[in-house]
Amino acid sequence: MERFIQVLVDGIATGSIYAAVALALVLIFRSTGIVNFAQGEMAMFSTFVAWGLYEAGLPIGLAVLTTLALSFVAGVVIERVLIRHFEGGEVLTLVIVTLGLFILLNGLAGWIWGFGNRGFPSLFSDETVELGGVTLSVESLGIVAVLLGVVGLLFLLFQRTKVGLAMRAAALNPDASALVGVRVGSMLMLGWGLAAALGALAGVLVAPRLFLDVNLMGAVLIYAFAAAALGGFDSAIGAVVGGWVIGVSENLAGTYVDFIGADLKILVPLAIIFVVLLVRPSGLFGTREVARV
């Protein structure tokens, strides 16, 4: 039983990381209608930057905060310089462009930092705590706490501030928002900046659990896609719930189903994406898609 609860909590912790990436995907999808395939590689790149700052002597906390700020700026710049040109174009074009960004960032990271892997320091201590007779790692609990904190902040931003209201308006109806004075372009840049920072956060959280290399986020991205598909691509709550479900089911399947083991864990999110899209394409919390004839 103790083992089961440990697996469960560990699943929720991993799931929180997937949820952070999924939230970033949802942020961009809601504002620009683009599924950003480069989200994971942007996060990987940010994580390398954090590693570089840490190696240069910054304390890890400060290195991460600096990285989040830099990632935000990078996200804003990417939207303005690259994505703006293609917005409103065909799905195929957008997929190819964000995928191009994916491959480009992966190559650049390999060029700058090489293809070897390296350890990444954790933000949390490696101690464990006893909760109700079950031994849990501080790291797992810390990751969950960070995610909940981020979700709380995002909620406040979107529901309680004027900027958040403007962002929602710009996403819902760009033309009408522009007419009432919302600067739609700035809102889109803000959305990409927030998403990039969120991804960076997921990167620095996941890196201590894996090794930091250029393929750090490859699998994470697929899990995050599964989370977003499960929750509904336009639902923030869905992204969080989806992330947790994916994280827990991945860990349970990997631990208790012999056939799956560590090798085939990647099939779990794939199967989930497939089933969800066939049974309920809008996801658990998403808005049903309506085609206009």
Partner 1 sequence: MSPRVRLAVICVLAAGAVAIPFLFGPYRVGQFTLVLVYAVAVLGLNLLVGYSGQISLGHGAFFALGAYTAALLIEKASVPYLLAVPAAGALCFAAGFLFGVPALRLHGLYLALVTLGLAIALPQLIKRFDGLTEGTQGLTVEQPEAPGWLGIEDDQFLYLLCLAVTAVMFLLAWSMMRGQLGRAVKAVRDGPIAASTLGVDLAAVKTRVFAVSAGYAGVGGALYVFAIGFVAPEAFTLTVSFAFLAAIVVGGLATISGALFGALFIEFVPVYAADVNVALTGVIYGGVLIAFMWVLPGGAAGLPRRLRELAAGRDRERPEGPRGGELHEEDADRVAGTAGHAGAGAGGLRA
Residues in 162-191 at the binding interface with partner 1, rule: CB under 8 A: none
- Using CB under 8 A, count the residues that bind partner 1: 51
Phi, psi values for residue 9, rounded to 5°: -65, -40
Q: Going residue by residue from 44 to 73, which x/- string records binding to partner 1, judged by CB under 8 A?
A: ------------------------------
- Cβ atoms of 238 and 151 within 8 Å: the answer is no
Q: Is 219 in the site for partner 1 (CB under 8 A)?
A: yes
Residues in 84-113 at the binding interface with partner 1, rule: CB under 8 A: 85-86, 88-93, 95-97, 99-111
Q: Which residues contact 257 (CB under 8 A, 6 or more apart)?
A: none
Q: Is 15 in the site for partner 1 (CB under 8 A)?
A: no
Residue with tokens 């293809």: 115
Q: Which residues contact 26 (CB under 8 A, 6 or more apart)?
A: 228, 231, 233, 234, 235, 236, 238, 239
Which tokens sit at 245?
Answer: 């479900």
Of 202, 229, 248, 253, the one binding partner 1 by CB under 8 A: 229
Q: Where are the alpha helices (DSSP H) in 80-161?
A: 84-86, 91-113, 138-160
Across 29-44, b (16+ Cβ under 10 Å) vs e yields bbbbebbbbbbbbbbb
Q: Is 270 in the site for partner 1 (CB under 8 A)?
A: yes
Q: How far is the CB of 58 from partner 1 (least distance, A)?
A: 26
Q: How far is the CB of 214 from partner 1 (least distance, A)?
A: 8
Which residue, 182 or 228, is less far from partner 1 as judged by CB?
228
Stretch that binds partner 1, among 47-55, 121-129, 131-139, 268-276 (CB under 8 A): 268-276
Residue 118's DSSP bridge partners are: 212
Q: How far is the CB of 28 from partner 1 (least distance, A)?
A: 12
Q: Is 11 helix (H, G, I), strand (E, B) or coil?
A: helix
Q: Is 126 helix (H, G, I), strand (E, B) or coil?
A: coil
Residue with tokens 């899209």: 277
Stretch that binds partner 1, among 3-11, 45-53, 150-158, 284-292 (CB under 8 A): 284-292
Which residue, 256 or 274, is less far from partner 1 as judged by CB?
274
Interface with partner 1 by CB under 8 A: which residues?
Answer: 33, 35, 37, 82, 85-86, 88-93, 95-97, 99-111, 115, 218-219, 222, 225, 229, 263-264, 266-267, 269-270, 273-274, 277-278, 281, 287, 289-293
